[in-house]
Every structure is written in structure tokens, then in C-alpha cells.
Amino acid sequence: MSVLIGKATRVLVQGITGRDGSFHTQGMIDYGTRVVSGVTPGKGGTKVHSVPVFDTVEEAVRVTGANCSVIYVPAALAQDAIYEAVDAGIPLVVCISEGIPVRDMLEVSAYLDGKPTRLVGPNCPGLISPGSCKVGIMPGFIHKPGKVGVVSRSGTLTYEVVWQLTGAGLGQSTCIGIGGDPIVGTRFADMLALYESDPGTQAIVLIGEIGGSDEEDAAVLIRKSISKPVVAFIAGQTAPPGKRMGHAGAIVSGGSGTAQEKMARLRDAGIPVAKTPSEIPGLVSEALRPKVRTKLKLVRPKRAAKKSAPRKRARRR
């Protein structure tokens, strides 16, 4: 099982005739993804890797039944590409493009409000449900089908973590890079809710980084409504304040958005936070291990009740 994409996903590539679009279309086809059509205005009627190209998204959807779009167009054209996909009624739009101005994304975010389309990205590697479908640019071979959901703001750091999980025999249900920009379509909280309701996902790895407050919001949500175990890692503990660390969204500004703060909030919510990427597989295995001691714990409450009762009273006084 997986979330957002799987065997039924029919992918349309916006910007399919471009260098990146064409290259990654081949990569997706090689992985077994059903790439049904591509769109480049003015190139309708041609083919890229045997995939038919259309002039408009609307036509591509009508003719080929695409239900997911992946966008590889240059940043300056990305807002328009997202609008076109949303207006064509595509339920899942994945925007890989990097370098989109924040204002463009604020406008997109306002437009998406109340619409059925889910946007993933921009400035992201996309998502993959190992063994069934890949929509994006990640190397497929590092993944392995399994039960761990991985959600991250990064690209290569995600690959690193996935590679270590796979090496430890821990396969993945769906891995998603939500993007490194300040404004993205899908956030940690959205993905946590999806993993929670996916029977194929048994544990979640959350890879955050400095900037913004998404990790803090995720900590609140996990404490409140996520029953599956979550393991977290936060990058950027050594990042100096006020400096953008590569990703447009990775910046500590006005003392907020630090790695230390995010780690503290996640730990407060009872979530194990790995100190290094290589600690992650061990923490995940631990979280997935059947709780042998559960029986002992069940006996305990009687004894504990006595102890805790006077404490409660003391507090009331």
C-alpha cells in the first residue's frame, strides 16, 4: 500500500520536451511508472520516448486520462503550469521546478484554496511508492517496498536516509520530498495525516530542517492525532542565523526556526529525534519492534495507581 501514488497513477509530464523533462520521463518509465502523456505548448502531435505530446493539459487529460501531473518547466513559467494543471482538474500536481518567486507561490496558494487539487512542491524531488510508481527525479534503485513512510524537505538527504533504511532491511511505503521553499503545497502535517490513514504504513520518518515552523506544527499534530510511531531528524544545527542554506526556505530569521527549537518541540511531543542520519534505521526498527514488554506494563497500573494517587492529591493542594 502507499499514499498519493500507486499502480493506478497515470502521469502527465508538463515540460516533457525540455532537457530535464525528457531525461526524467525516461527515468520514470524505466521505473515502471505509467507516463501517459506530455505537454509542451507548440509541440503537440510529437512524441518523447513514445509518449504523446499535447499542446494543452486539458487535451492531454481528456485523451489520455492522466490523473497526476509532474512539472519540469523553468521557474518563470511554473506558476502558469500549475494553474493549467489545476484548471484541468488534475487531483495531484507535483512541481519539481526550483527558483519560483515567493509571490508566485502565494498567489498559487490562494488560488488552490477550496480546490480539490493537491500540490506537492515546488523545489522538490517528487514522490515514490517503491515497486509501483515514481513521480519525480529520485534514483529509484535505492528504494525498497515496505512499511516506512518518509517525508522530507530535502532531496539528497532523503536519498541518504532512504538508502540507509533500505540497507537495514527497512522498506518504504511512500517517500516524498515536500520541497525546500518557504511556501509549499503539501506540508508535514498533510503527509502525517495521509500516512496515519494508510494501512500500508506502519512507521513514519520525518526529515526537517531549519526555517519556518512546519516541524513544530507537526509535533503538535503528532501528539494530538498520530498513533503510528514517528522518528525525526532535523538538519542545520550548525547553520548561522540570517543565512540562507541553499534552500530558499532554510533560514533562521529573528531567532526562530532553529534546529534546536524544532528538536526540542519534537522531543517534548515524545518523538525520538536522531542525532545523526545513521541513527535513524535503529530508531525505526525499535519503533516497529513488537512490544514484548506490553504484558508486564499491563500488570503495572495497579501498583502505579497507588503511587500516583497521592501525587495527584498533593498537586491539588
* Residues acting as catalytic residues: 247
Told to check if 19 binds another protein by CB under 8 A, we report no
Binding range to another protein, per CB under 8 A, among 35-43, 56-64, 211-219, 224-232: 211-219
User: Could you give the residue ranges of the DSSP H alpha helices within the chain?
Assistant: 19-31, 57-64, 75-87, 102-112, 156-167, 188-196, 214-225, 259-268, 280-288, 294-299, 301-316
In the complex with another protein, the residue whose CB is nearer, 11 or 245, is 245
Mark 230-249 with x for binding to another protein (rule: CB under 8 A) and - for no binding.
Answer: ---x-xxxxxx--xxxxxxx
Told to check if 153 binds another protein by CB under 8 A, we report yes
Distance CA 11, CA 39 (A): 11
Of 2, 22, 69, 154, the residue at the interface with another protein (CB under 8 A) is 154
Told to check if 115 binds another protein by CB under 8 A, we report no
**Minimum gap (Å) between residue 112 Cβ and another protein:** 10
Q: How many residues appear in the chain?
A: 317
The three three-digit cell numbers of residue 196, written as one number:
496515519
**Minimum gap (Å) between residue 39 Cβ and another protein:** 22
Told to check if 225 binds another protein by CB under 8 A, we report no
Told to check if 196 binds another protein by CB under 8 A, we report no
Told to check if 282 binds another protein by CB under 8 A, we report no
Residues in Cβ contact with 84 at an 8 Å cutoff, skipping those fewer than 6 apart: 14, 39, 56, 57, 58
Q: Are the CB atoms for 26 and 49 separated by under 8 Å?
A: yes
Told to check if 5 binds another protein by CB under 8 A, we report no
Told to check if 217 binds another protein by CB under 8 A, we report yes
Task: Output the CA torsion sign for 289, 290, 293, 297.
Answer: positive
Distance CA 128, CA 177 (A): 9
Of 278, 300, 308, 309, the residue at the interface with another protein (CB under 8 A) is 278
Distance CA 157, CA 209 (A): 10
Of 128, 148, 183, 222, the residue at the interface with another protein (CB under 8 A) is 183
The three three-digit cell numbers of residue 97, written as one number:
521546478
Residue type, 137: I
Residue 250: phi and psi, rounded to 5, are -90, 80
Of 1, 8, 102, 304, the residue at the interface with another protein (CB under 8 A) is 102
**Minimum gap (Å) between residue 239 Cβ and another protein:** 6
Q: State the residue for C-alpha cell 526498527.
A: 285
In the complex with another protein, the residue whose CB is nearer, 140 or 171, is 140
**Minimum gap (Å) between residue 247 Cβ and another protein:** 5
Q: Which of residues 40-99 bind another protein (CB under 8 A)?
A: 75-76, 99
Binding range to another protein, per CB under 8 A, among 7-15, 44-52, 82-90, 254-262: 254-262
Specify the DSSP class assigned to residue 240: P
The three three-digit cell numbers of residue 139, written as one number:
534514483
Residue 258: phi and psi, rounded to 5, are -75, 155
Q: Are the CB atoms for 30 and 51 separated by under 8 Å?
A: no
Residues that bind another protein (CB under 8 A): 24, 27, 75-76, 99-103, 106-107, 109-110, 137-139, 141-142, 152-160, 163, 180, 182-183, 207, 209-214, 217, 233, 235-240, 243-250, 254-255, 259, 275-278
